[in-house]
Amino acid sequence: MSKTLFERIIAREIPARIEHEDEHCIVLHDIQPQAPVHLLIIPKRAIPRVSAAVAADQAVLGHLLLTAGVVAKKLQLADGFRLVINNGPHACESVPHLHVHLLAKRQMSWPPG
């Protein structure tokens, strides 16, 4: 089975602008940003999507959200930010490797489109 785009970035086969990295995840700037700050928080262990996660993934899933808070604090996003996880084609999932979008530095609308 071929590697996903994110697995190739994690393996340093494809360059990326990395904002944060630790043993469980990598945070990088989206190449097609939808906000002035648009980061992707990606687990190093491939989980295809939220609906494919299992109980053993619980710690990694929690770590992604905690990392969002750490990075938001580092980037001084006190005015707020939005976290988005797409699951499946109707949600515009473009890479079958779970990731959290962190969007900030613009007013978000509700409901999201």
Q: pLDDT tens, 21-67?
A: 999 999 999 999 999 999 999 999 999 999 999 999 999 999 999 99
90 is catalytic: no
Q: Give 82: exposed, middle or buried? Use CB within 10 Å, 0-12, 13-18, 19+.
A: middle
Q: What is the pLDDT of residue 112?
A: 80
Residue length of the chain: 113
Domain boundaries, the chain: 5-104
Q: What is the pLDDT of residue 113?
A: 66
- Of 24, 29, 38, 99, which residue is the catalytic one? 99
Q: pLDDT tens, 77-104?
A: 988 999 999 999 898 898 999 999 999 9
CATH 3.30.428.10 fits 5-104, yes or no: yes
In this prediction the pTM is: 0.94
Q: What is the pLDDT of residue 31?
A: 95
